[in-house]
Amino acid sequence: MTYEEIPWTDVVMRCTKYTVFEDQHPVTEGHLLFVPKEFTWDCLADCYKAAYAWGHGWVEDEYCDSYNIGQNVGVEAGQTVEWPHVHLIPRRKGDVEDPSGGVRAVVSGKQQY
């Protein structure tokens, strides 16, 4: 797959090294994808930096209370689009009953420890 073949269309922002899209199947309202234009470590690192800064801004602006940043790498990890992309998921008080364990919830039974 190439950047030109990615399925996302709802552009939030474009810049030199990446594009930010609305997620087509959002986990929460505002779920974004940071998609590198080239499959390089440099571009992917810029996606992570931008996602972190964007999430921090959301919290400062009180758009959300917290956020998750993550990436599915490979089919066994849940990746469905074979182009790297970083998820930024805004989290709000009460969006799940018990958020402790966070990303550990990707494997059933591992969230609470």
Range with lowest mean pLDDT among 6-20, 43-57, 96-110: 96-110
CB 73 within 8 A of CB 15: no
Kindly report, residue by residue over 80-94, the tens digit of the pLDDT.
999 999 999 999 999
Q: Where are the domains of the chain?
A: 3-106
Q: Give me the pLDDT at residue 1, please.
A: 93
Q: Give me the pLDDT at residue 74, please.
A: 96
Q: Give me the pLDDT at residue 13, please.
A: 98
CATH number, domain 3-106:
3.30.428.10
pLDDT greater than 90 at residue 110:
no
Kindly report, residue by residue over 22-69, the tens digit of the pLDDT.
999 999 999 999 999 999 999 999 999 999 999 999 999 999 999 999
Kindly report, residue by residue over 66-79, the tens digit of the pLDDT.
999 999 999 999 99
Could you count the other beta carbons within 10 Å of the beta carbon of residue 70? 15
DSSP letters, the chain, are --GGG-----EEEE-SSEEEEE-SS-SSTT-EEEEESS-SHHHHHHHHHHHHHHHHHHHHTTS-SEEEEE---SGGGT--SSS--EEEEEE-TTSSS--TTGGGGGSTT-S--
Residue 27: strand pairing partners: none
CA neighbor of 92 nearest in space, from 50, 63, 54, 70: 63
Could you count the other beta carbons within 10 Å of the beta carbon of residue 80? 8
